[in-house]
Amino acid sequence: MEKILSYSFDKKTPLIISGPCVVESKELCLKVAEQMKKICDKHKLPYIFKASYDKANRTSGGSFRSIGIEESLRILEEVKKEIGVPVLSDIHESVQVDMVKGVIDVIQIPAFLCRQTELLEAAGKSGLPVNIKKGQFMAPGDMKYAVDKVKNASENTVLLTERGSFFGYGNLVVDYRSIPIMEEFAPVIFDVTHSVQLPGAADGKSGGNRKMAPVLAKAAAAIGVSGFFIETHPNPDKALSDGPNMIPLAEMDAFIAMLIKLSNAAE
């Protein structure tokens, strides 16, 4: 994790945060992490593996959440050890910090919870880097206060992630002005796949339009960002969460190459 803590967030070599939406199995996580590490090594990019150990914010209570929190955390620890990459996962309650801080390397605050003071302060006290997703309902300038809540607890590395804003019901739109605004407070990551999500628009679950992911990603790369958050899966249509948004794993090498080309062209 030391290279992430000391990473200078050079926009020519953006950080890649990528993995399946949720821990489905050990085999899946190891496969995705191994392949993504190879891709990022090839392109000389820093890489963090991500997967949620529990999806606590599903649209429907009947949707898949987890194979079990303890089992999922054990798998994340194995990914970290076997593949040799740092791992990121979400927390939803402040009491979860102690549960995860010995396993994960980066704490993520979900977008819906980015105003939760106790959660942000607890993440700050962990001493780990914290990635805060901008709420779909938040003005980018107000994310300053989320960063302050973490940094008032400890001088952690803090990242802010842009993932779109509500545009009526069941739709999101990305306001690219948010990137330079939030860069005043912290390095900005662009969430490629959640930005094409259609929240709650698929009969009790969220839909999405992955065909639009390259369009939004190209725009962010052309502007220049410190990193990209990209969910991926060998077979997105069979994924247990957020499949409609994900980039197929087999397409990720070309996708990353495209982002690097545009990032290098950005001023």
- pLDDT tens track for 150-181: 999 888 899 999 999 999 888 999 999 999 99
Asked if residue 77 lies in contact with residue 85, where contact means CB atoms within 8 angstroms, the answer is: no
Mean pLDDT in residue range 6-13 = 79
Structure tokens at 73: 């955390």
Q: What is the pLDDT of residue 7?
A: 67
The Cα 222–Cα 265 span in angstroms is 7
Q: What is the pLDDT of residue 58?
A: 61
Q: What is the pLDDT of residue 4?
A: 54
What proportion of the chain, given as a percentage, has pLDDT over 70?
Answer: 93
Q: pLDDT band at 66, cuts 50/70/90?
A: confident
- For residues 9 and 161, the model is more confident at 161
Q: pLDDT band at 2, cuts 50/70/90?
A: very low
- In order of start, what are the domains of the chain with their CATH numbers? 10-265 (3.20.20.70)
Closest CA to 16 of 119, 148, 106: 106
Mean pLDDT in residue range 57-83 = 88
